[in-house]
Amino acid sequence: MSLIVIVDDRVTNRNIFAKLAASIEQDVSVQTFGDPEEALAWLAGQTPDLVITDYKMPKMDGAEFIRQFRELPSCADVPVIVITVYEERSFRLRALESGATDFLHSPVDHHEFITRARNLLKLHKHQMLLASRASTLERELRVSEHNRERALRDSRKSLAQVIDTLPVMISAAGYDGRLLFVNANHIDFVGLDPQQVLGAHVGLLFGEEHGARSHSLDRMVFETGRPLPSYEEEMVGRDGEPRVFITTKSPLRDDTNIVSGVLTSSLDITARKRTEGHLRHLAHHDPLTDLPNRTLLRERMRRLIARARRGDQPFALHLLDLDGFKAVNDLLGHSAGDRFIKLVGERLRGAMRSEDTLARLGGDEFAILQAHVASSEDAAEFARRVLETVAGASDFENSGLRTSASIGIAIHPEDGIDGEDLLKNADLAMYRAKAEQGNFFCFYAADMQARARNDALLDGELRRALENDEFLLYYQPQVNLASGQIVGAEALLRWNRPGVGIVGPGVFLNRVEENGMIVPLNEWVLREACREAYSWQKRGLALRVGVNLSPVQFRKRRMPLLVAQILGETGLAPSRLDLELTESIVVSDFDAVAKDLQQLLDLGVHVSIDDFGTGYSSLNYVKKFPVDRIKIDQSFVRNLSTDANDAAIVRAIVTLGKSLGLEIVAEGVETAEQLARLRAEGCDEVQGYYFGKPMPADEFIALLDCSAPLAASA
Ligand code: C2E
Ligand code: MG
Ligand code: MG
């Protein structure tokens, strides 16, 4: 229904206009006024859809009427038609200025009146509709904006709640090591006040030492923009109990994709570790005696063999079989038999040194790995003691039984180079011992006197070799993974043995360590390697030389003094020398060795831990070691792609080493696949047959001249 208001002082006009207006549409209500003031008063309470007004009226003219009308509430947009007899522009202008929408000329043409009025009415309705739609839209928008804000606020809050209730310790830190965020779980673990933590240095949360390590790992993430592979670490909470965590670090990026922080999350895996440890124990131990089983024995042999490769003392495998155990079982029954085995196991265990391994292989068979056997006499003496120990178990449970055992001995490396060979040969020797009516031990194959004679002969040959200059050095290239360039070489000792040819250190190194020749020999190696490296230096080649030092030599000589002296003699820059030591060097006297190592570093030479991972030191230990490089042992590199355990060890070594600012070198790289993996893990340098076997110095120099970047081409 449309409301049309007509204002005119003349009755006739009012009537005509009212009639015309009523015919515009079906549903029209028309209101007419003779007096504009009356009309305004009425309009204050109604909003019309169209106003038609005369211009010339006695009390106020049309312009004034429109002005006042426009001021009424919601009348600003209502169309107003002015009817006038005047054609002058000044009237029209006044009317327009006061807000008229259209004009009709008097006398009014009826058809024109209806058309104009109808159009204005329609236009107005459309405008009203549009306005109402716009305001609805606006309202809806306002509501949804509000809802979105609330939803966002809610989701942030619930996210924070989720993060707080996760059973994971989560924190984030900025480049300067200040904490940006710490979740409730972590705060609870360390027992701090949440207010203290934000903005504090990570050291507050993790403790000074651990904090420094975490901070330098964060820096790696900032620099690479990539997450770190996860690693295991130990942390101690407010209850003082050490717990094991698996920790990941990943970059946090801001809106512009710049790394603005590093998120550290640590999952407590102590329980899982314990279970794993338990399962591992079960897998590696004999349930009856709780002694290591065959699997663990093999693993221990693998370690000893890895160490023997670099000339550690030989070790002996003793295979022990009880004599007459069948009688115990037959006479006293199986459970007594079990008790007997347990008793023998306990007695034998009492006779072991901590570095030896006693294992039960099954039935009445035991094996003993005797580490550090200087001579076969050592092994014989040990076997005698073991036989006595077994005899001591006689008269078991007052049964009147006499007990004894037979022992077969195989010595590494003479009697076998791998575990299987050694087990087989010790077994053969054991059967020979049994054949002697028991309570007896036998060496595999060669008898003891022949062994001793051989040793003496070899000693003589080696002594002459040193006098006759039969020793020489081979060099194996070391390649930097970032540049692909050869950056150094490891000097490896060779003996040009008359009648035999070039032989490696495996053949003679343990002899020269045993007979003391290692001291002059290795001094020769050091001098010779420095001399050779000085010739590289003179040619302007940026190369380092690695020299292996023997633990024996380290104990007997003031190494820092000797090194300083040889550097002075040869003119080699200290930074071009890299001394390789094995972990076993520190077992005896950590403090004295640490002091020497520090002095060597102070001289400016590099110090590497060789064959890292095969020795005694845990990753934690290396932190206290004054060295600047680690060489990951080749046994881990060999199985990198097949053994998940080895891959994890390599990853842990690299991660920890890097956080301590050490350079990481991997040895024994033979394939492109191993190389790719080592590169992915973040190794700095590599060495192995893939790039070149150990070779004479001139071949090494020739290789340098013709090799384009090696690692890059791989
Ligand atoms: P090392 O210091 O760990 O030296 C690496 C050994 O691994 C070298 O054996 C080298 O030839 C070998 N190797 C290098 N790349 C590969 C590879 O890709 N695959 C395989 N299967 N083997 C690779 P080498 O020359 O027989 O030396 C054995 C050990 O003897 C050395 O182990 C080192 O501990 C010791 N040694 C060598 N020269 C000296 C020396 O002048 N003084 C002392 N004290 N020990 C030395
Ligand atoms: Mg080495
Ligand atoms: Mg090595």
CA-proximal residue: ligand 1, atom 23 (nearest): 668
- Do the beta carbons of residue 236 and residue 242 sit within 8 Å? yes
Q: In what order do the strands lie in the sheet with 259-268?
A: 179-182, 168-173, 259-268, 242-253, 228-236
Give the distance from CA 445 to its chain's centroid: 50
Residue 604 DSSP symbol: T
Domains of the chain: 1-152 (3.40.50.2300), 167-284 (3.30.450.20), 287-445 (3.30.70.270), 469-496+510-713 (3.20.20.450)
**Mean pLDDT taken over the chain:** 88
Q: Is the pLDDT of residue 619 over 80?
A: no
pLDDT computed for residue 714 by the predictor: 47
Ligand 1 pocket residue status of 493, Cβ below 6 Å = yes
Q: How confident is the model at residue 308 (pLDDT cuts 50, 70, 90)?
A: confident
Task: Tell me the DSSP string of 458-519.
Answer: HHHHHHHHHHTT-EEEEEEEEEETTT--EEEEEEEEEEEETTTEEE-HHHHHHHHHHSSTHH
First to last CA, the chain: 88
Residue 31 DSSP symbol: E
Mean pLDDT computed over 544-557 = 86
The percent of residues above 90 in pLDDT, for the chain, comes to: 45
Q: How many Å lie between the centroid of ligand 3 and the Cα of residue 219?
A: 30
Q: Is the pLDDT of residue 612 over 60?
A: yes
Q: Is the pLDDT of residue 713 over 50?
A: no
Residue 19, class by beta-carbon neighbours within 10 Å (0-12 exposed, 13-18 middle, 19+ buried)?
exposed
Q: How confident is the model at residue 154 (pLDDT cuts 50, 70, 90)?
A: confident
CA-proximal residue: ligand 1, atom 25 (nearest): 492
Q: Rounded CA gap, 233 and 210, in Å?
A: 10
* Buried b / exposed e along 478-500 (16+ C-beta atoms within 10 A): bbbbeebbbbbbbbbbbbebeee
pTM of the predicted model as reported, rounded to 2 decimal places: 0.54
Atom of ligand 1 nearest to the CA of 694: 11
Q: How many Å lie between the centroid of ligand 2 and the Cα of residue 307?
A: 12
Structure tokens at 680: 């992915």
Q: Given ligand 1 and candidates 519, 521, 548, 552, which is best to mutate, with the most ligand atoms within 8 Å of its CB?
A: 548
> What are residue 362's DSSP bridge partners?
365
Atom of ligand 1 nearest to the CA of 550: 44
pLDDT computed for residue 710 by the predictor: 66
CA-proximal residue: ligand 1, atom 43 (nearest): 548
How many Cβ atoms sit within 10 Å of the Cβ of residue 36? 25
Using alpha carbons only, what angle is made at residue 209 by residues 277 and 197, rounded to the nearest 5 degrees?
100
Q: How many Å lie between the centroid of ligand 3 and the Cα of residue 515?
A: 23
Atom of ligand 1 nearest to the CA of 473: 41
Q: Is the pLDDT of residue 712 over 60?
A: no
- Do the beta carbons of residue 359 and residue 310 sit within 8 Å? no
The counts of H helices and E strands in the chain are 27, 24
Structure tokens at 179: 């904490």
Structure tokens at 307: 């160490």
How many Cβ atoms sit within 10 Å of the Cβ of residue 57? 19
Residue 201 DSSP symbol: B
- Which residues lie near ion ligand 2 (Cβ < 5 Å)? 548, 580, 610
Task: Please give the backbone phi and psi of residue 53, each rounded to the nearest 5 degrees, phi first.
Answer: -135, 145
Q: Rounded CA gap, 210 and 534, in Å?
A: 41
CA-proximal residue: ligand 1, atom 13 (nearest): 668
Q: How confident is the model at residue 586 (pLDDT cuts 50, 70, 90)?
A: low
Q: Rounded CA gap, 544 and 579, in Å?
A: 10
- Do the beta carbons of residue 422 and residue 410 sit within 8 Å? yes
How many Cβ atoms sit within 10 Å of the Cβ of residue 654? 23
Which ligand is located closest to the Cα atom of residue 546? 2
Q: Rounded CA gap, 516 and 648, in Å?
A: 39
Residue with tokens 């801001």, as numbered in its chain? 254
Mean pLDDT computed over 569-580 = 97
Structure tokens at 540: 């302007």
pLDDT computed for residue 361 by the predictor: 94
Which ranges of 290-357 does DSSP label H, i.e. alpha helix? 294-308, 325-332, 334-350
For the ranges 124-138, 271-285, 286-300, the one whose mean pLDDT is highest: 286-300
Ligand 1 pocket residue status of 492, Cβ below 6 Å = yes
Structure tokens at 303: 């370690």
Do the strands 629-632 and 606-612 form a parallel or antiparallel pair, or are they unpaired?
parallel
- The pLDDT tens digits for 63-72 are 899 999 999 9
Task: Tell me the DSSP string of 123-170.
Answer: HHHHHHHHHHHHHHHHHHHHHHHHHHHHHHHHHHHHHHHHHHHSSEEE
Which ranges of 35-109 does DSSP label H, i.e. alpha helix? 36-43, 62-71, 89-97
Does an H or E element contain 661, and which? none
CA-proximal residue: ligand 1, atom 41 (nearest): 493
Atom of ligand 1 nearest to the CA of 690: 18
Mean pLDDT computed over 487-506 = 95
How much is the CA Rg of the chain, to the nearest whole Å?
48
For the ranges 161-170, 186-195, 432-441, 493-502, the one whose mean pLDDT is highest: 493-502
Ligand 1 pocket residue status of 670, Cβ below 6 Å = yes
Q: Rounded CA gap, 101 and 80, in Å?
A: 5
Using alpha carbons only, what angle is made at residue 405 by residues 399 and 409, rounded to the nearest 5 degrees?
165
How many Cβ atoms sit within 10 Å of the Cβ of residue 605? 23
Residue with tokens 């039935």, as numbered in its chain? 363
- The pLDDT tens digits for 196-216 are 888 999 998 888 888 998 999
For the ranges 58-62, 182-186, 390-394, 495-499, the one whose mean pLDDT is highest: 495-499
Q: Given ligand 1 and candidates 307, 492, 502, 553, which is best to mutate, with the most ligand atoms within 8 Å of its CB?
A: 492
Q: Is the pLDDT of residue 15 over 70?
A: yes
Does an H or E element contain 272, and which? helix 270-284
- Helices 644-659 & 672-681 angle (0-180, nearest 10): 40
- The pLDDT tens digits for 634-676 are 988 988 888 877 888 888 888 888 888 899 999 999 999 999 9
Ligand 1 pocket residue status of 218, Cβ below 6 Å = no
Q: Rounded CA gap, 383 and 319, in Å?
A: 10
pLDDT computed for residue 621 by the predictor: 64
Q: Is the pLDDT of residue 90 over 90?
A: no
Atom of ligand 1 nearest to the CA of 518: 44
Q: How confident is the model at residue 311 (pLDDT cuts 50, 70, 90)?
A: low
CA-proximal residue: ligand 1, atom 21 (nearest): 668
From the list 556, 576, 558, the residue with the least C-alpha distance to 567 is 576
Structure tokens at 145: 């904006």
Q: Is the pLDDT of residue 684 over 90?
A: yes
Signed CA dihedral, 446, 447, 453, 455: sign only: positive
pLDDT computed for residue 618 by the predictor: 57
- Do the beta carbons of residue 384 and residue 325 sit within 8 Å? no
How many Cβ atoms sit within 10 Å of the Cβ of residue 446? 14
Q: How confident is the model at residue 587 (pLDDT cuts 50, 70, 90)?
A: low
- Do the beta carbons of residue 657 and residue 664 sit within 8 Å? yes
